[in-house]
Structure 1
Amino acid sequence: MMKLQVTNETGRLRAVVLGIANQNGPAPKADEAYDPKSLEHILAGTYPAESDMVFEISAFHDVLERYGVKVYRPELIPDLNQIFSRDIGFVVDHFFIKANILPDRAEEWRAIEHIVKQVAPNDFVEAPAEVHIEGGDVILWNEYLFVGTYQGDDYSALNTARTNIKGVQFLKEMFPHKIVKEFDLIKSMTNPRENALHLDCCFQPVGRNKAIIYPGGFRNPMDYLYLHKLFGRENIFTITTDEMYEMYSNIFSISEDIVVTERRFDRLNYWLRDQAIHVEEVPYHEIGKQEGLLRCSTLPLFRD
C-alpha cells in the first residue's frame, strides 16, 4: 500500500502526482471555458498550444526528478485536459480525499485511479455529493487547515465557485484537531483580475514562516488581516492585481528551502532568494493562461 503524509506546503517532497498535457485536445470554445482567464485567451486567439504546454510540464518534471521526487502521472485519456491534478484530489495528514469537482471534469478522476488503488482503503475518503471541494482551495500549514470558499447567494451560478461552505464543514468534522479557517474569495466569470479561482490563487505559505498574499482576493478584509497577524508583516510578500493575474502565489515548494517558480516572476524570485530560499525557475507562462500554475499541476502524496 502507498504511504501518505502531507501536513504542510513546504515539507520535503518525496512523492507527487504531476499532470500531463499530451493529447490535450483542441482549444475549447468560449462557452466551454471554466474560468475567465481561459475565456480571455480563447477569445483573443492566444490559448496555449499543446506543444508549449508539454514542454513546460516536462521542464517541471525534470526539476522534480532532479531532487529525487517520485513522480506519478495520470493515464493518458485523449482529448482531455489533464494538467491540473490538484483539483481532483488532495492529501491531508494520511488521508487521500477525493474531491467533488465540476461534473464536466469528472473523467479526470479515471486517469489517476491506478494511483489511488495503491492507497489503503481506510485512508481513502470520498466526500458526500453535496460537499463541493477542490484541492486548490485546501492549504495545509501544520495545525492549520486553510480553506477557500464562496458564500455568495449566486454560488450555483458561478463555475468559478468551486468549494462550498459544506466543504468547509466537512473538513472541520473530519479534522477536529486542526484549526480549520475558511476564506470567502472574490469570484468572477468574466474578469480574471477579479477572480480568485482557488485559495492558492491569492495565498500560499512558503519557507518556514512566510507567505505570498494578494489582499484583494478576499471578500472579507478581516480574512486578510487574519493572515497578516498570523504570519507577520515582515514575513509576507504582497502581490499586486497584475501579479495575482499572472499566478504569483501558485508556485510550488519542494522543501522549506527549495521552490519552483515561473521564470518571469522577477520580483518574487528576487524576494525568495533574499529569504535564503533556492529558486528553480521554469517556463510555465503558457499553462498559466488557463488560470492555473505550478501548485495547480501537482497533487502531493508524501512530504517529510
Structure 2
Amino acid sequence: MLKLNIKNETSRLRAVVLGTAENNGPAPLLDECYDPKSREHVLAGTYPKEEDMIPEMESVAAVFNKYDVAVYRPEIIKDYNQIFSRDIAFVIEDKFIRANILPDRDKEILAIEHVWSQIPKENRITLPEECHIEGGDVMPWNDYIFVGTYSGEDYPDYITARTNMDAVIALQELFPNKKVKSFELRKSNTNAKDNALHLDCCFQPIGKDKAILHKNGFLVESEYEWLVSYFGQENIFEINKEEMYNMNSNVFSISENVIISEKNFTRLNTWLRAQGFTVEEVPYQEIAKQEGLLRCSTMPLIRD
C-alpha cells in the first residue's frame, strides 16, 4: 500500500507519477485541441513530435533517479496523449482525488490503475459529477489549498476553463481544517498569451516562502495582491507575458532547495540560483508547445 503524504508543493519528494510521451499519436486536428497553444502549433506545422518529446521526459526521469525519487509511469495507451499526469488526479494529505476532466481524457486515469489500486479505498476520492477540477489548478500550501477557477457565466464556452466553484466548495468540505482560497483566472480559447489554463500557468510557490507570479493571469487584481502580500514582494519573481507564455511558472520542486527547470528559462534560473536554489536544467521546449511543462507532467504522491 502507498502511504500518501502531500502537504505542500516543495517538501522533499519521495514518489511521483511522471507522464509519458510514448505512443503519443499523430498531431491533433484543430477541433481536437484542448488549448490555444496546441492550436497555434497545429496551424504552424510545429506541433511537437513523439521522438522529440520522449527524450525530454526521460531527462526528467533521470533527475528523479539522481535524487532517489520513486517514479511511476502510466501504462501506454496506443495513440493517446498521456504526458500531463497532473491533470488527471492530485494528492492532498493522504487523499488521492480523481480529477473530473474533459471527458475525452477519461482513459488516462485507467492507465495509472497500478497506482490507484495501492491506495486504501477510503482515501480514493471521486468528486460529484458537477465538480469540474484538474490538478494544475490545485496547490496545497500547508494551511492553505490554493485553487485556480473561473466562475463567469460563460464558463461552458471556455474549453480552457477546467475548475469550477462547485469543486472549490467540495474541497473545502473534504478538508475542513484547511483554508481553501480560490483565484479567478483569465481565460482565452484562442490566444495563448491571454490564457492561464491552470493556476500553475501563472503562479507557483517555491522554497519555503517564495513564489513565481504573473499578474495578468489573474482576473481580479485584489486576489493577485493577496498573493503578493502573503509571500512578500521581495520573495516574488514576477514573470512577463512572454515568460508566462513559455510556462516559466511551471517548474517543479524536488525539495525546498532543488528545482527542475527548463534550460531556456535564463532569467528565472539565474534568479533561482541567486536565491540559493539548486537548479536542475532539462530540455522541455517541445512539450511546452502543448501549454504544459514540468509541474503539469508530474503528480507527486509522497513528500516528507
TM-score relative to the length of structure 2? 0.99
**Structure 2 matches for 1:194-209, cutoff 5 A?**
194-209=194-209
Superposed CA offset, 1:81-140 (max 9, x none): 000000000000110001100001111111011210000011111101111010000011
* Residue 281 (1) aligns with residue 277 (2): no
How far apart are residue 157 of structure 1 and its match?
Answer: 1.4
How far apart are residue 189 of structure 1 and its match?
Answer: 0.3
Q: What is the CA–CA distance in structure 2 between the aligned matches of 1:23 and 1:141, rounded to whole Å?
A: 35
**Structure 2 matches for 1:1-304, cutoff 5 A?**
1-304=1-304
3-state SS of paired residue (1:255): coil
Q: Which moved more, 1:104-113 or 1:194-203?
A: 104-113
3-state SS of paired residue (2:9): coil
Q: What is the CA–CA distance in structure 1 between the aligned matches of 2:72 and 2:230, rounded to whole Å?
A: 34
How far apart are residue 288 of structure 1 and its match?
Answer: 0.1
The amino acid that maps onto 1:225 is E
| Structure 1 unmatched runs, 5+ | none
3-state SS of paired residue (2:254): strand
Q: What is the CA–CA distance in structure 2 between the aligned matches of 1:125 and 1:22, rounded to whole Å?
A: 28
Superposed CA offset, 1:183-215 (max 9, x none): 000000000000000000000000110000001
The amino acid that maps onto 1:59 is S
Q: What is the CA–CA distance in structure 1 between the aligned matches of 2:73 and 2:191, rounded to whole Å?
A: 32
Runs of 4+ aligned structure 1 residues displaced above 6 Å come to none
Q: What is the CA–CA distance in structure 2 between the aligned matches of 1:289 and 1:51, rounded to whole Å?
A: 14
User: Identity across aligned pairs (percent)?
Assistant: 60
3-state SS of paired residue (1:156): helix
Q: What is the CA–CA distance in structure 1 between the aligned matches of 2:206 and 2:213, rounded to whole Å?
A: 11
Q: What is the CA–CA distance in structure 2 between the aligned matches of 1:92 and 1:71, rounded to whole Å?
A: 18
How far apart are residue 152 of structure 1 and its match?
Answer: 1.1
How far apart are residue 274 of structure 1 and its match?
Answer: 0.5
The amino acid that maps onto 1:276 is G
The amino acid that maps onto 1:11 is S
The amino acid that maps onto 2:263 is R
| Structure 2 unmatched runs, 5+ | none
Superposed CA offset, 1:217-276 (max 9, x none): 000001100000100000000000000000000000000000000000000000000110
Q: What is the CA–CA distance in structure 2 between the aligned matches of 1:85 and 1:160, rounded to whole Å?
A: 17
Q: What is the CA–CA distance in structure 1 between the aligned matches of 2:176 and 2:218, rounded to whole Å?
A: 25
Superposed CA offset, 1:162-191 (max 9, x none): 000001001111111111100000000000
3-state SS of paired residue (2:230): helix
3-state SS of paired residue (1:197): coil
Q: What is the CA–CA distance in structure 2 between the aligned matches of 1:89 and 1:13, rounded to whole Å?
A: 17
The amino acid that maps onto 2:162 is R
Q: What is the CA–CA distance in structure 1 between the aligned matches of 2:256 and 2:299, rounded to whole Å?
A: 17
